[in-house]
A and B are shown apart, each in its own frame.
Chain A
Amino acid sequence: MHDQARFEYLLRLGDNCLILSQRLSEWCGHGPVLEEDIALTNVALDLLGHARFWLTCAAEVENAGRDEDQLAYLRDAGEFRNVLLVEQPNGDYAQTTARQFYFDTWHYFLLRELKNSSDSRVAEIAEKAVKEVTYHLERSSAWVIRLGDGTEESHGRMQRSIDDLWVYTGELFEPDAIDVEMRERDIGADLESLRAPWLEHVQKTLSEATLDAPSAGWMQRGGKRGVHTENLGYILAEMQFLQRAYPGAQW
């Protein structure tokens, strides 16, 4: 019998990166300016690299003959373990920026914790990834400031996106049984302890951006146990089409 909790935990880490990477890739060729088109796809590429590390690791733990590709292309929505935040639509640039900013801040503090994981594979992937995620965070923070402290139009759009996506941030810090077990085994991070540094960076950045920080309220949840918004089905339909239509296709 494989280590189910560790497998699930690695899927969560991998699926967050994979789904956000896929979302960002939708901007390829559609970025508002060339530099941003390149930046978004670079971030997508980093996240895809992280997803491959995590899912390869998950497949090894599962030890059921599946590999990273089968995990990515042949699971249905209910088997995905990403948080709801990363599957939200790109919307306008403010929405993409707000989603990235919330996620990058959490991702950064999470990976810093995972660097100390007792699982050496988890620790080394986190050590590698956090260097890249630091760039992601600096970029998305800078865009929140630029758009927030920009024109009336950009300020309004940025505030709306920050408010709209807030409801998906609660799940990031709510440990369930798997998170607790991983924490107790010193493999995973203490999610609740990430909330304070996350909030501090978010509030500091929003304040510099002349934006109002949303107040606490009811939060959406479900992604970690496979209960997703309808958005995920559409993402998978596009991402998995080739392998579903032409099973085992290679190029």
Chain B
Amino acid sequence: MVAVQPSIAEIWSWMSEIPDPEIPVLSIVDLGIVRDVRWTEENELIVAITPTYSGCPAMDVIASDIRSSLKNHGISAFRLETKLSPAWTTDWMSDNAKERLREYGIAPAARLIPITGIAPLKSSEKEQRVQCPRCGSEATTVISRYGSTPCKALYRCSACLEPFDVFKQH
């Protein structure tokens, strides 16, 4: 046990030092994975996390990284909770995080795909403008809506001809 209970702000700052295992340029706080940090009346620390995608295999690694961080900072009485609602959304990512993503070579998606009326891919594809993270051109086409991780799609730039990942608006 630590003598003085660390402040909530301090714990948030530890969390923001934990990189996402798949996109290490962002922290789990940048991504909006950590939803809540609080002390209970029994002096137990609760950290609530939410999965980006339901089957995201990185969640186990993230949970284990959080446990290590808390232990390294001398916290022994803590519990991790999974919180599904409100469902994770890319809206929780800050502009700063999106900019770092772009510098890393992953385009943060520009706009939500229209869901109303369930537009099949054929029509919705045209409506989404995604900027190439390398050359900035908007002349890009989708190769596949599914990429190397559930949160990314695969695009190609028609200007510089490079393929690139897009963080899906979700």
Write the residues of chain A forming the contact surface with B, with a CB cutoff of 8 angstroms: 35-36, 38-39, 42-50, 52-53, 108, 120, 123-125, 127-129, 131-132, 134-135, 137-139, 141-142, 145, 201, 205, 208
B145 lies within 8 A of A131 (CB): no
Partner of A139 from the list B145, B147, B154 (CB cut-off 8 Å) is: B145
Any A CB within 8 A of the CB of B68:
no
B121 lies within 8 A of A139 (CB): yes
B147 lies within 8 A of A38 (CB): yes
Q: In the bound complex, how far is the Cα of B57 from the Cα of A18, in angstroms? A: 16
- Name, among A43, A47, A128, A139, the residue most crowded by chain B CB atoms within 10 Å (CB to CB): A128
Q: List 20 A-B contacts (CB under 8 A).
A: A35-B143, A38-B148, A39-B145, A39-B146, A45-B56, A46-B54, A48-B55, A52-B55, A123-B85, A124-B84, A127-B84, A129-B54, A131-B87, A132-B150, A135-B146, A138-B124, A138-B145, A141-B120, A142-B120, A201-B118
Any A CB within 8 A of the CB of B170:
yes
Counted as pairs of residues, one from A and one from B, with CB atoms less than 8 Å apart, the total is 92
Known: A47-B55, A49-B55. Is A142-B122 also a contact (CB below 8 A)?
A: yes
CB distance from B123 to the nearest CB of A (A): 9
With a cutoff of 8 Å between Cβ atoms, the chain B residues found around residue A43 in the complex are: 146
With a cutoff of 8 Å between Cβ atoms, the chain A residues found around residue B148 in the complex are: 38
Chain B interface residue count, CB cutoff 8 Å, equals 29
- Name, among B84, B146, B168, the residue most crowded by chain A CB atoms within 10 Å (CB to CB): B146
Residues of chain B in range 121-170 having any CB-CB distance to chain A below 8 Å = 121-122, 124, 143-148, 150, 154, 168, 170
CB distance from A179 to the nearest CB of B (A): 24
Write the residues of chain B forming the contact surface with A, with a CB cutoff of 8 angstroms: 51, 53-57, 84-88, 113, 115, 118-122, 124, 143-148, 150, 154, 168, 170
Q: Is the interface of A mostly helix, strand, loop or mixed?
A: helix
Q: In the bound complex, how far is the Cα of B122 from the Cα of A141, in angstroms? A: 9
With a cutoff of 8 Å between Cβ atoms, the chain B residues found around residue A139 in the complex are: 121, 145-146
With a cutoff of 8 Å between Cβ atoms, the chain B residues found around residue A47 in the complex are: 55
Partner of A132 from the list B53, B118, B120 (CB cut-off 8 Å) is: B53
With a cutoff of 8 Å between Cβ atoms, the chain A residues found around residue B120 in the complex are: 138, 141-142, 145, 205, 208
CB distance from B137 to the nearest CB of A (A): 21
